[in-house]
């Protein structure tokens, strides 16, 4: 396997809290080799229906690194802010 990815589907509820969360998340990547690959806003559903307006894709060097990042105290500390700011669905993939 190559990289591991987190795909986040997002509907923002509180712009100020979301901005703070987005500012703080990259600080949690360094120890795990993570990086944001894509942040975007849906402009059309080409097949089916996606209820979330925004998407984020994060890349890590391995599934273990991805899990280590997600479980890290640094990221776990941001989850209450994330949950106050947005409805978020996170899924993990290997490629």
Q: Considering the domain delimited by 4-43+51-94, tell me its CATH architecture.
A: 2-Layer Sandwich (3.30)
Q: Where are the domains of the chain?
A: 4-43+51-94
59 Ramachandran zone, left/alpha/beta (phi>0; psi -120 to 50): beta
For every one of its 95 residues, what pLDDT tens digit does the chain have, with 9 covering 90 and above? 699 999 999 999 999 999 999 999 999 999 999 999 999 999 999 999 999 999 999 999 999 999 999 999 999 999 999 999 999 999 999 99
Closest among 88, 84, 85 to 58, alpha carbons compared:
88
State the Cα–Cα distance between residues 16 and 66, nearest whole angstrom: 27
* Residue 18 backbone dihedrals phi, psi, to 5 degrees: -65, -40
């Amino acid at each position: 396997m190559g990289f591991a990815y987190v795909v986040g589907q997002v509907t923002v509820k509180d712009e100020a809290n979301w901005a703070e969360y987005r500012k703080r998340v990259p600080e949690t990547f360094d120890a795990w080799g993570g990086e944001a690959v894509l942040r975007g806003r849906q402009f059309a559903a080409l097949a089916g229906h996606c209820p979330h307006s925004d998407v984020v894709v994060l890349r890590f060097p391995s599934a273990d690194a991805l899990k280590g990042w997600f479980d890290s105290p640094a990221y776990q500390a941001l989850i209450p802010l994330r949950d106050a700011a947005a409805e978020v669905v996170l899924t993990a993939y290997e490629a």
